[in-house]
Structure 1
Amino acid sequence: LSVFHPRFQEDPQPRESKVSMTPPLFSRGTGPATSCGPITHTLNPMVTGTSVLGVKFTGGVIIAADMLGSYGSLARFRNISRLMKVNNNTILGASGDYADYQHLKHIIEQMVIDEELLGDGHSYSPKAVHSWLTRVMYNRRSKMNPLWNTVVIGGFYSGKSFLGYVDKLGVAYEAPTVATGFGAYLAQPLMREVVENKVEITKQEARELVERCLKVLYYRDARSYNRHEIAIVTEEGVEIVGPLSSETNWDIAHMVSQCYPPSLQ
């Protein structure tokens, strides 16, 4: 290289003055690297969905979610689906950022197509999809750009029911009942009370249970909506039912409001 190359020119400013003490994560710059700072990523979801519920029953799994996309506190989109059929033995539901869910859905759909093109008679099991999701979520979390979703995976494969949970950090587990969002506080205790006191639970009992929980969430969760879908997977395959609505009764609402101080009524 020539000595006149910019690399060899004397730096007019001390090196220390060019070092920023602000970590990239907290930089105010957005988009590509410019004079504003390095590349940054938003960590704030825009359009979000609330709770997803899942219950194992004898011979399958049921997952339910409402169809509201909230723009902050605004009930903006009232007919969006947050449940998907992965293949003939696996279903998936997601809460959190809807755009991230759409991105994840597109990847999974293409992955399933690629698998089917092999024509070897095999398909992804629910446990395989669950394991793959843990790696995807943890990978994005490690890049400080997570997919802002909590995902529920249900399925019936090789004669066994599967129900798993993965959050945006890659934390994952399997359980007989699963709930995300506000449902983890309101619906999960109701589901556990029924499931843990029974040796077996039928498909009809599981459906009645999730519908009861969805009604409770509609009453108590300000981000829920009285329109929902239910996905059921059994040995026969996958069925997604909806949109559905719950029968509600607000006759005692005025009595409940009297329990709050005047400033909150």
Structure 2
Amino acid sequence: MAGMRSPPPPPPPPPLWLRPLTSSGVLSGGACRASVDIAGAAATRLSGGHSTHTREHTLYPHVTGTSVIALKYKDGVIMACDTGASYGSNLQYKSVERIKVVGKHSLIGASGEFSDFQEVLRCLDELTFFDHMCDDGNSLGPKEIHSYLTSVMYSRRSKFDPLWNSLVIGGVKKGPNGEEKYLGTVNLIGTHYEENHIATGFGNQLTVPILRAEWHDNMTFEEAVRLVEKCLLVLLYRDRSFINKFQIAKITAEGATIYQPYSLKTHWGFSAFENPSKHSIKESMRLLFL
């Protein structure tokens, strides 16, 4: 009718990190939503008209990575992990990269569900993209990345749809007191802290005592590598999911470097490995009461 105003245009879609997830773990909207709807329609046809397509949250990890080791040294932060990803107790992938560069000043490493880590990386890509678009002469540092991920992990936990990861964030950025090294972690329920050395997963029980005993603030890069490799060997011997293919990364004021994967020389001739029952708790108790 004459005189009527046209309806306002629809609002733009929300940023990536604010969009809800579908049951399959992909972002809602557009082609992702269409693929879910098509899958549901196909399931309805196959079941004779009764829909078998249910929407569920991912409440248990499937393809997972193991521990991440990280520590500060004199010039920056070093981070290391293996390149395996397991489906349950079976090794499914042998060349997975679980350490990535974020922006100009940060590294991130992840234990846990690998698909959730990919979702975290997508959120960080968009976050750093919008930060770059601001063009204000500043960029997000590791402390800001850690704070953002803490909010994301706690938000998802509060919705009973957590991202099944333990994340390690390290980096170097110029601050009021010069180049400042930063190392922090956050887990799937939003628990977070900063530390001079961090280990996730099984490494939190097995390697943190080694790090506490041997780490010092003035370590050279070569000393840091030797300490990290010692921790990796302990995990290789004790964690069945760990594989002998490791990747080390470092970040300094000059930038980040992720080195090619390599293996370590191992020794399996320890008496506890050759005769496990001899060193068991049951055998020790038997000898104690003889």
The answer for unaligned runs of 5 or more in structure 2 is 1-38, 41-49, 284-290
- Higher mean C-alpha deviation, range 204-213 or range 112-121: 112-121
Letter of the structure 2 residue corresponding to residue 113 of structure 1:
F
Alpha-carbon separation, structure 2, partners of 1:200 and 1:246? 25
Deviations 1:113-163, CA, capped at 9 Å, x for gaps:
222233222111100000000000000000000000000000011101100
Task: Report what 2:190 is aligned to.
Answer: 170
Task: Report what 2:219 is aligned to.
Answer: 201
Question: Percent of aligned positions with the same letter in both sequences?
Answer: 40
- The 3 A distance-change label for structure 1 pair 189 and 124 is same
Residue 205 of structure 1: CA displacement?
1.1
Q: Does 1:55 align with 2:57?
A: no
Letter of the structure 2 residue corresponding to residue 173 of structure 1:
Y
Task: Report what 1:94 is aligned to.
Answer: 110
- TM superposition score normalised by structure 2: 0.74
- The 3 A distance-change label for structure 1 pair 64 and 257 is farther
Alpha-carbon separation, structure 2, partners of 1:147 and 1:220? 26
Contact 1:53 1:64 in 2 (8 A): yes
Task: Report what 1:242 is aligned to.
Answer: 260
- TM superposition score normalised by structure 1: 0.81
Task: Report what 1:64 is aligned to.
Answer: 80
Residue 41 of structure 1: CA displacement?
1.5
Q: Does 1:180 align with 2:200?
A: yes
Contact 1:59 1:160 in 2 (8 A): no
Residue 170 of structure 1: CA displacement?
0.6
Residue 35 of structure 1: CA displacement?
8.8
Q: Does 1:211 align with 2:229?
A: yes
Q: Does 1:125 align with 2:141?
A: yes
Residue 88 of structure 1: CA displacement?
2.3
Q: Which structure 2 residues correspond to residues 136-151 of structure 1 after superposition, within 5 A? A: 136-151=152-167
- The 3 A distance-change label for structure 1 pair 229 and 257 is farther
Contact 2:100 2:109 in 1 (8 A): yes
Task: Report what 2:249 is aligned to.
Answer: 231
Q: Which structure 2 residues correspond to residues 3-82 of structure 1 after superposition, within 5 A? A: 39-82=55-98
Q: Which has the higher relative contact order, 1 or 2, with Cα contacts under 8 A spaced 6 or more apart?
A: 1
Alpha-carbon separation, structure 2, partners of 1:43 and 1:210? 32
Residue 61 of structure 1: CA displacement?
0.5
Alpha-carbon separation, structure 2, partners of 1:225 and 1:152? 20
Letter of the structure 2 residue corresponding to residue 238 of structure 1:
A
Alpha-carbon separation, structure 1, partners of 2:172 and 2:58? 37
Contact 1:148 1:168 in 2 (8 A): yes
Contact 1:92 1:153 in 2 (8 A): yes
Alpha-carbon separation, structure 2, partners of 1:207 and 1:155? 17
Contact 2:74 2:217 in 1 (8 A): no
CA RMSD of aligned residues (A): 2.2
